[in-house]
Amino acid sequence: MIKVLSNGVQMPLLGLGTFLVQDGSSAYETVKYALEVGYRHIDTAQMYKNEASVGQAIKDAKIPRSEIFITTKQAGHSTIEKMRAQFEESLEKLGTDYVDLYLIHWPNHDKKINQQTWALFEELYEAGKCKAIGVSNFQRHHLLDLYETAKIKPMVNQVELHPGLSQEPLKAFLDQEGIAIESYGPFMKGGIFEGIWGEGLSEIASKYHASIAQVVISWGLQRDVIMIPKSVTKERIEENFNAQYVNLSDEDMKKINELNRGKRVYTDPDNSPWGPYKG
């Protein structure tokens, strides 16, 4: 399943997340196994500190580079020189001369800083070093502020999204803007297996002889949301990949949509470690 981004780049709708996958043998074996299973999209970040092992696993898989979609994320806002050097370091660690998608990991509380970082992203994109550029954890107002100086619209916005936080208003806005929405934290830090979510989802899962995790991934894919579940467990890596073969009925999609409670289990982008957004 492919998502065609606004600039025509093709992004596999299902990928592997690697947050908290330790650099070294864990990240290496996880990515290597995922590629064997059939994943062709890997999500990493400078902050995850595992780009070198991710890159080595990709290299050793001997799959043509053009068939693998690699996303990485800018560690944090800084001077242009420092951020440019960090990008080059990512390329080196990943063992590639371009990334498929480069994301601003978090909005800064100061819109001018976001605008300045974005100008560098545009430069890297125009130089062909990123096939697509985007943002992460941006709310509608962060995007509107970015537009004030942007020459290029972000192609992707990666945000917390799961049955407890379906992000319908943000998704409607992004759809209108031609920005693809990508989910992180699809399992709600374990919340999808408990309480109202566990109850509702297990009932649906049993109908399809699927797992709760598969139902959640499939729900995202059927909403045209890019999904990047993380697992270091072989059985789960495979189980999550096979979620693309679970076809939920409209009625069950609706039932899952009704589990939305606007519940965040990750940091609120309006009140991030950089403080409340000032604009």
Ligand X SMILES: NC(=O)c1ccc[n+]([C@@H]2O[C@H](COP(=O)([O-])OP(=O)(O)OC[C@H]3O[C@@H](n4cnc5c(N)ncnc54)[C@H](OP(=O)(O)O)[C@@H]3O)[C@@H](O)[C@H]2O)c1
Q: In the chain, count H helices and then E strands.
A: 10, 12
Stretch that binds ligand X, among 74-82, 200-208, 230-238, 253-261 (CB under 6 A): 230-238
Residue in 51, 100, 239, 252 binding ligand X, rule: CB under 6 A:
239
Closest Cα partner for 171 from 163, 152, 161? Answer: 161
Residue in 56, 72, 137, 244 binding ligand X, rule: CB under 6 A:
137
Among residues 48, 125, 184, 277, which one is catalytic? 48
Sequence-ordered list of residues with C-beta below 8 angstroms from that of 67, at least 6 positions apart, any chain: 40
Residue in 150, 232, 253, 265 binding ligand X, rule: CB under 6 A:
232
Q: Does 230 participate in binding ligand X (rule CB under 6 A)?
A: yes
Tell me whether residue 48 is one of the annotated catalytic residues.
yes
Which parts of 32-51 interact with ligand X (CB under 6 A)?
A: 43
Q: Does 274 participate in binding ligand X (rule CB under 6 A)?
A: no
- Length of the chain, please? 279
Residue in 69, 83, 229, 277 binding ligand X, rule: CB under 6 A:
229
Which residues in the chain belong to E strands, given as ranges?
Answer: 2-4, 10-12, 16-17, 41-43, 69-74, 99-104, 130-136, 156-160, 180-184, 226-227, 271-272, 275-276
d(CA 204, CA 149): 46
- Measured at the alpha carbon of residue 213, what is the angle toward residues 160 and 30, in degrees to the nearest 5? 85
Q: Does 213 participate in binding ligand X (rule CB under 6 A)?
A: yes
Stretch that binds ligand X, among 140-148, 199-207, 222-230, 246-254 (CB under 6 A): 222-230
Which parts of 166-195 interact with ligand X (CB under 6 A)?
A: 184-187
Residue identified by tokens 């409670």 is 261
- Give whichever of 43 and 51 is closer to ligand X, judged by the CB atom: 43
SS3 (DSSP) at 113: helix
Identify any residues that bridge with 103 across adjacent strands, giving them in sequence order.
73, 134
CB of 105 to ligand X, least distance (A): 6
- The residues assigned a catalytic role are 48
Chain positions contacting ligand X, by CB under 6 A: 17-19, 43, 105, 136-137, 158, 184-187, 211, 213, 228-233, 236, 239-240, 266
